[in-house]
Structure 1
Amino acid sequence: QYSIKQLFITITGLFKLRPSHPLSPQCSKNCGGGVTLREIQCFDTRDQRPLRPFHCQTVSTRPVTRMPCLPQPCLDWYSSSWGQCSEVCGGGEQQRLVTCPEEDRCDEDHLPSNIQACNSQPCTQWVTGSWGQVREAYCAHTNTAYRCCVYVKDVPLCLRLQ
């Protein structure tokens, strides 16, 4: 039993975990603290041959695979005023300029929208005339629409319906 343990200890000393490459220069975020990652591999220390991970399971110190990076705080996005709406009614869009004061120093996850809907109210409205007596009302159909007219005090008020 003792010799097996001793042999096992000797064998495990021959294997080592080491980074397969140095820490990646790529940080997961531009600012506000992200992480940088690296892979680790199990190697035979005698001939530097890569091994399967289970060979290194008994190695007590596993190299770090994640490191914090870019601790500087993110800057706030700058947003200009909204521009004019593309439509006066029926739904349009308006745009604005959104920029970061310093390149790569704003959090992309909190990028404000640069476009929004506007003037969504319908393009219809009531038209009212002055009070008076209705003398005559009629509607006529043409090939493409109806035309309805109401005469109030001998003044025609007409509406074309499609």
Structure 2
Amino acid sequence: MRGPCRVIQCYSLHSCSAECGMGIRTRGVLCLTNHISSLPLEGCGHERPTDSQVCNHGPCESRIEWFTAPWSQCSTECGSGSQQRAVVCLMKSDEGFNVMPPYECSSLDKPLNQQSCHLKPCGAMWYHTDWSACSKTCEGGFRVREVRCLSDDMLSSEGCEEELKPVEREECNPEPCVPHIDENCRDKYFNCNVVVQARLCVYDYYKTTCCSSCTRVAHRQSQHRALS
């Protein structure tokens, strides 16, 4: 009895792998019997058709396009945050890619470089305002801020851990006060030492007429307070 006939079946070539320039077209090649069973390609003899060929649609024209990098991780570990990515204007040619100024791609729709992201709910968390201004510019003051426990929908909650609560008040500007000494600050009277001894420097008139003496004593007093 005669054995089954063996034939090679070739499928149509796929489209070229490159839109321009050199590329490759591929196709499937099978060795079949008349019973439509597949055999190794070697079973059909040595005249195996090629399963790929070179293709060329001509040289690539330089093309401007936006390139986007992968998105960054979400800026927060829970709740709502944001993601960023680099968006660059590139020129594509046979030689590769060149970075171009953004205005070169101005005729194209620029992809977003930032988007919102949403992770699992955070649950109740402590939130605080910025610190207020310090109550004093020197010699120790304090500043305050508001601290509140809020739920995911920004409503007041009692679900926060008390030991994690941020402080609401802290000391600030502990350095001693150094009086500003004006170069034109001079005593206008010869007996300004009497003004100092009489503790009259608290009055604006004597601060002006005995400027140098009153400034020196104020400076000594601030240094004494800082050391005590």
Question: If the length of structure 1 is used for normalisation, what is the TM-score?
Answer: 0.43
> Which structure carries more relative contact order (alpha carbon 8 Å, separation 6+)?
1
Q: Who wins on radius of gyration, i.e. which is larger?
A: 2
Which structure: greater helix fraction? Answer: 2
